[in-house]
Amino acid sequence: MKILSYVILTTIFINLTGCGWLGLRDRTQDYLLAEATEPTVVPIELESSQLGQLYPLPSVENSTEQLSSFEVPRPQPASVNTFEKLVKIQSFDERRWILINMSPSELWPRLRNVLNRNGIPSARAEGSTGLIETVWVTFSSDEDNAHRFLFKIAPGVQFDSTEITVIHNETPKGQQDGALWGEISDNDQRELDMLTLVANDLAGAENFASVSLLAQDIGGASKVDIVSSGVTDPYIDIKLSFDRTWASVLYAAERGGFSTIDKDRSKGILFVKFSESTSESDGFFSKLFSRGGDDEVVVANYRILVSTKDGSVEVSVVDVNDNSISRPEALRLLTILRSNLS
């Protein structure tokens, strides 16, 4: 009988609990609907010591005193380059420069540190123009002459990149006062040695976080811009020489997936073929609902025109008959070229 009683009581308890759990309304959010009421007023003749703030807030007085342990965080770099660190020496038409994927304002303090660490102090440093002129130095291999170097920092062709050029100047000892800078280096090997030294030092550096506010405006405007005003056909405006622009466009076309059919440098015409699958040009939803195996390869022939105008070089894309193509198509192809220029 006891066992039967326990079973009956347990069954009743479960049923009541289940009914109550299923029948009761969830009241956990009811406090959000509560209305504000007047504070409780305790008659004078009654004790009110039990009423009060359970968690009183301490009073805060106005004070200008700062915590001694507070540390102001360092400012973030003006531009953060998410690409892998890259430092390399490029050359074209007997000119050399260091290419690094870092903004000029980030590179400026690092270059100055490189020169100081190698015992080459600066005689003149202009952050606004990106120029660093070293003092006269002598080499153990050439004690009869004095040497100095002129560094020029300028924005690179790629996004968030910088180019460093170096000019070497050499003169006999005692005649430094009358020495003038030339357009090219007096000694190509000295120039290459200095470029190699700086490039190796920058490549081995670990901290890329320093930024110079004084060097924010180095180089001024960008060297490369896609112009799409709506009045004329889109084109790329490049503030470089024609020779370097031509070589850079050839490089960009190859890397961007264009196949060069023919080229005429004297006329600035590059005959190319561009192919892509339909899945690459379709939108997101087209890719989402497309069937596998239905991709088609679209091949089109174009002409890339490179011409000099108003001190800069313009790069545009037309069809094989020199006719304008649609603006979206032109912008898409120009963007591919722009992203691969070097």
* pLDDT tens per residue across span 141-198: 888 999 999 999 988 888 778 899 999 999 999 888 888 999 999 999 999 999 999 9
pLDDT computed for residue 190 by the predictor: 93
Our CA dihedral for 122, 115, 203, 107, rounded to 10 degrees, sits at: -20
CA distance 306 to 245: 8
Query: Is there a domain that residue 328 lies in?
Result: yes
Among the candidates 215, 245, 263, a domain finishes at 215
- Answer whether 0.85 is exceeded by the pTM: no
Tokens of 173: 């000892």
Q: Which of 215-219, 277-281, 283-287 has the lowest mean pLDDT?
A: 283-287
pLDDT band at 295; cut points 50, 70, 90: low
Query: Is there a domain that residue 16 lies in?
Result: no
Asked whether residue 236 falls in the same domain as residue 209, the answer is: no
Asked whether residue 228 falls in the same domain as residue 211, the answer is: no
Provide the domain limits for residue 164: 87-215
pLDDT computed for residue 289 by the predictor: 47
Among the candidates 156, 181, 215, a domain finishes at 215
Query: Which of 57-71, 208-222, 256-270 holds the top average pLDDT?
Result: 256-270
Q: Report the mean per-residue pLDDT for the chain.
A: 77
Asked whether residue 262 falls in the same domain as residue 320, the answer is: yes
Asked whether residue 193 falls in the same domain as residue 231, the answer is: no
Q: Residue 107 is part of a domain; what is its CATH number?
A: 3.30.530.50
Instruction: Render the burial of 169-186: b for 16+ CB within 10 Å, e for the rest.
Output: bbbeeeeeeeeeeeeebb
Instruction: Render the burial of 223-233: b for 16+ CB within 10 Å, e for the rest.
Output: bbeeeeeeeeb
Please count the structural domains in the chain.
2
Asked whether residue 93 falls in the same domain as residue 203, the answer is: yes
CA-to-CA separations, 222 to 102, 175, 325, in angstroms, rounded: 14, 39, 26
Other beta carbons within 10 Å of 125? 19
Asked whether residue 275 falls in the same domain as residue 324, the answer is: yes
